[in-house]
Amino acid sequence: MTRLHSALSNHRFEGAAVAPGNQGQPELADHPEEACGVFGIFGTEVEAAKLTYFGLFALQHRGQESAGIASFQEGTFFGHKGMGLVSQVFDEDILQHLPGSIAVGHTRYSTTGTSRVSNAQPVIVETARGKLALAHNGNLVNTLQLRDHLVQEGLNLETTTDSELIAHRIAQEVNQDKSWPEAAIAACQDCQGAFSLVLGTAQGLMGIRDPHGIRPLVIGTLPSKGQQGEQQYALSSETCGLDIIGATYLRDVLPGELVWIDQQGIQSQLWAAAANPKLCIFEMIYFARPDSHMHEESLYSYRLRLGKYLAQESQVEADLVIAVPDSGVPAAIGFSQASGIPYAEGLIKNRYVGRTFIQPTQTMREQGIRMKLNPLPDVLSGKRVILIDDSIVRGTTSRKIVKALREAGATEVHMRISSPPVNHPCFYGIDTDSQDHLIAATKSVEEIARQIDVDTLYYLSWEGMLAATGENPDHFCSACFTGDYPIAIPEPLKRSKLMLESTV
User: Which ranges constitute the DSSP H helices of 362-487?
Assistant: 362-366, 377-380, 396-407, 439-442, 445-452, 462-467, 479-482
Amino acid at 13: F
280 is in an annotated binding site: yes
Residue count of the chain, please give it: 504
| Sign of the torsion angle spanned by Cα atoms 203, 204, 209, 215 | positive
For residue 287, the 8-state DSSP code is I
Residues 6+ apart with CB under 8 A from 151: 157
36 in active site? yes
477 is in an annotated binding site: yes
Alpha-carbon gap, residue 138 to 70, rounded angstroms: 20
- Per DSSP, the three-state class of 245 is coil
Amino acid at 355: R
Alpha-carbon gap, residue 301 to 294, rounded angstroms: 10
Which entry of 36, 188, 191, 240 is annotated as an active-site residue? 36
- Bridge partners (DSSP) listed for residue 103: 41, 71
191 is in an annotated binding site: no
Alpha-carbon gap, residue 322 to 355, rounded angstroms: 24
Alpha-carbon gap, residue 341 to 362, rounded angstroms: 38
Alpha-carbon gap, residue 351 to 400, rounded angstroms: 18
Alpha-carbon gap, residue 487 to 387, rounded angstroms: 35
426 is in an annotated binding site: yes
188 is in an annotated binding site: no
- Per DSSP, the three-state class of 134 is strand
389 is in an annotated binding site: yes
Residues 6+ apart with CB under 8 A from 296: none
Question: Which bin fits 283, alpha (ψ -120 to 50), beta or left (φ > 0)?
Answer: alpha
Residues belonging to the binding site are 280, 327, 389-390, 426, 477, 480
Residues belonging to the binding site for [4Fe-4S] cluster are 280, 426, 477, 480
Residues belonging to the binding site for Mg(2+) are 327, 389-390
Active site residues: 36
